[in-house]
């Protein structure tokens, strides 16, 4: 059938996309639980995710206390944020340890000493060993800047650009031995625009990270509180 050109141009997409969320699984209500969960945050870099966890607690979006921020790099900006928000922090410099195991043990000792219940790797640029993974089974989570299982490992944003995918994103997942491979808790999709540079794309991915990480913490904290009740 001959299609009228103007009519064709004026056609709008007939799907209603309003309900399609870029965050999945998406729930408009934040999981509720009590008492507060005691968090240990591990960071190596800028600490923007750490800062958003702090903000979520202040805004009453997250029922948590940060028992400690642990950094492995004495020059990382996360320290400045801890000072700004008066969050206790400790530097456990891996360069001063003779092995990965020794560093892991110092981290583990600090987390246990403070009775941390949930450990959040928020830009922790180190592989954690089995002792921490087993010691915090189902209580150790990581945020990664891609839609896992795509683009595991280092420089995930550049990997996505190099592969010319048109959608990437970020993932919060449980940590297991294989890097960036544990069960997925929550993901957010981020389109890659033609005019994107790595920096503009990184900014949009991080904006989503700052939303999904506190949400994932709430979800996992609720599971921890529920399983504690079940075990009583």
Residues involved in catalysis: 144
Q: Are 157 and 201 in contact (CB under 8 A)?
A: yes
Does 31 engage in binding with ligand GRF (CB under 6 A)? no
Q: Which of 190, 209, 214, 220 binds ligand GRF (CB under 6 A)?
A: 209
**Of 180, 167, 174, whose CA–CA distance to 208 is shortest?**
167
Does 169 engage in binding with ligand GRF (CB under 6 A)? no
Does 46 engage in binding with ligand GRF (CB under 6 A)? yes
Does 204 engage in binding with ligand GRF (CB under 6 A)? no
Give whichever of 144 and 225 is closer to ligand GRF, judged by the CB atom: 144
Does 117 engage in binding with ligand GRF (CB under 6 A)? no
- Residues 6 or more apart whose CB falls under 8 angstroms from that of 214 comprise 52, 53, 56, 61, 62
Q: Which of 68, 87, 107, 123 binds ligand GRF (CB under 6 A)?
A: 123
**Of 178, 184, 192, 232, whose CA–CA distance to 212 is shortest?**
184
Reduced to 3 states, what is the DSSP secondary structure of residue 172?
strand
* Binding interface with ligand GRF (CB under 6 A): 43, 45-50, 122-123, 143-145, 170, 206, 209
């Amino acid at each position: 059938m001959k299609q009228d050109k103007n009519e064709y141009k004026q056609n709008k997409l007939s799907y209603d996309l309003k309900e399609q969320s870029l965050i999945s699984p998406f729930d408009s209500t934040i999981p509720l639980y009590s008492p507060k969960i005691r968090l240990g945050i591990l960071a190596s870099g800028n600490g923007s995710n750490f800062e958003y966890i702090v903000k979520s607690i202040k805004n009453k979006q997250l029922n948590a206390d940060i028992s400690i921020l642990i950094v492995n790099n004495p020059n990382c900006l996360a320290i400045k944020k801890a000072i700004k928000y008066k969050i206790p922090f400790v530097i456990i410099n891996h360069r001063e340890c003779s092995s990965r195991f020794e560093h892991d043990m110092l981290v583990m000792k600090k987390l246990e000493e403070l009775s941390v219940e949930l450990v959040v790797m928020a830009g922790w640029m180190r592989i954690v060993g089995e002792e921490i993974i087993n010691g915090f089974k189902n209580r150790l989570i990581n945020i990664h800047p891609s839609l896992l299982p795509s683009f595991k490992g280092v420089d995930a944003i550049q990997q996505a650009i190099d592969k010319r995918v048109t959608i990437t994103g970020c993932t919060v997942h449980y940590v297991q031995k294989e890097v960036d491979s544990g069960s997925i808790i929550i993901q957010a999709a981020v389109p890659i625009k033609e005019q994107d540079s790595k920096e503009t794309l990184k900014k949009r991915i991080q904006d989503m990270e700052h939303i999904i990480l506190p949400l994932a913490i709430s979800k996992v904290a609720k599971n921890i509180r529920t399983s504690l009740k079940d075990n009583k």
